């Protein structure tokens, strides 16, 4: 019992909370909604609207920073000093202007990330677990079993899930963007942001609805929004 208590104490003593701020490398402005993944533990968090993040880590852990329209960045934890992370945008972003022709589509960005992390989509990918034997039988590959049970395989699967979720959100943002919604509803600024947060469509709807169906859905939700503008409003945080 004493051994396990000391072992547990040692584990908790090594893992600490690491904080930092994430900036745009070009503009030096803080950027929010960045997915921070600890590859060693598989845990992930999103930073806040001030660009700040707090995540549990140990010395030697690798942190991956992911955000749409930015190149992924990897940082190895060398100390528990606050980090300043500068992410490189994939294209020059214009303020308050949505231009799809000069940036990557969600599909192109997704494929570029897959190329940057070939291991998690190759040797550590367990989605193709079935293999065909020379004599014609079908079974589960030993590599797939190992990857499913090993820590590196689980971490790779967790990172793939996060990248997949970011891809789904970027597909939604690509069609359900501020310029498009504002043109349909006439909303601007804070009211437009409030409406888009409350009536954000699902990935399934965005990928299956035609332009006519999407516009009709936005108009119907806009009528609901006018009737009950405070619906779906989250209660204030209590300290």
Residues 37-81: pLDDT tens digits?
Answer: 999 998 999 999 899 999 999 999 999 999 988 999 999 999 999
Bigger pLDDT: 8 vs 189: 189
Longest dimension (CA), the chain: 67
Q: Do 141 and 131 meet the contact criterion of CB atoms below 8 Å apart?
A: yes
The angle subtended at Cα 168 by Cα 141 and Cα 201, nearest 5°, is 140
Long-range contacts at 115-120 (CB < 8 A, ≥ 24 apart): 116/71, 116/72, 117/72, 117/159, 117/163, 119/156, 120/156, 120/159, 120/160
Region 138-146 average pLDDT = 45
Region 14-19 average pLDDT = 83
State yes or no: pLDDT of 180 exceeds 50: yes
Nearest to 65 by CA among 105, 26, 113: 113
> What pLDDT was estimated at residue 161?
85
Quick: pLDDT tens for 76-126: 999 999 999 999 998 655 444 444 444 678 888 888 888 877 777 665 454
Q: Do 200 and 172 meet the contact criterion of CB atoms below 8 Å apart?
A: yes
Q: Hey, what CATH class is 16-103 in?
A: mainly beta
Q: Where do we find the tokens 């020059």?
A: 92
User: Cα 103 to the chain's mean position, in Å?
Assistant: 18
Phi, psi (degrees; rounded to nearest 5) at 199:
-120, 35
Bigger pLDDT: 132 vs 117: 117
For the chain, the domains span 16-103, 104-171, 176-227
> What pLDDT was estimated at residue 129?
47
Residues 6+ positions from 156 with CB-CB distance below 8 Å: 119, 120, 124, 125, 147
List helix spans (H) across 40-188.
106-116, 142-149, 151-175, 178-185
State yes or no: pLDDT of 235 exceeds 70: no
Model pTM?
A: 0.48
Residues 6+ positions from 124 with CB-CB distance below 8 Å: 147, 152, 153, 156, 157
> What pLDDT was estimated at residue 107?
87
Region 199-204 average pLDDT = 94
């Amino acid at each position: 019992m004493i051994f396990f208590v000391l072992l547990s104490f040692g584990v908790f003593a090594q893992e600490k909370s690491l904080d930092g701020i994430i900036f745009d490398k070009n503009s030096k402005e803080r950027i929010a909604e960045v997915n921070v993944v600890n590859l060693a533990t598989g845990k992930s968090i999103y930073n806040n609207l001030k660009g700040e993040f707090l995540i549990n880590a140990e010395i030697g852990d690798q942190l991956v920073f992911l955000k749409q329209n930015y190149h992924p960045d990897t940082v190895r934890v060398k100390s528990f000093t606050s980090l300043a992370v500068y992410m490189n945008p994939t294209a020059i972003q214009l303020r308050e202007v949505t231009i799809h022709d000069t940036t990557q589509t969600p599909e192109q960005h997704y494929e570029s990330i897959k190329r940057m992390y070939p291991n998690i989509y190759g040797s550590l990918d367990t989605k193709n677990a079935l293999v065909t034997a020379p004599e014609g039988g079908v079974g589960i590959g030993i590599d797939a079993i190992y990857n499913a049970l090993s820590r590196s395989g689980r971490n790779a699967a967790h990172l793939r899930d996060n990248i997949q979720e970011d891809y789904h959100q970027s597909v939604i943002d690509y069609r359900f963007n501020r310029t498009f919604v504002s043109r349909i509803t006439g909303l601007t600024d804070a009211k437009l942001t409030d409406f888009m947060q409350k009536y954000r469509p699902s990935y399934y709807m965005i990928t299956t609805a035609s332009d006519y169906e999407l516009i009709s859905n936005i108009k119907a939700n806009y009528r609901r929004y006018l009737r009950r503008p405070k619906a779906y409003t989250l209660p204030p945080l209590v300290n």
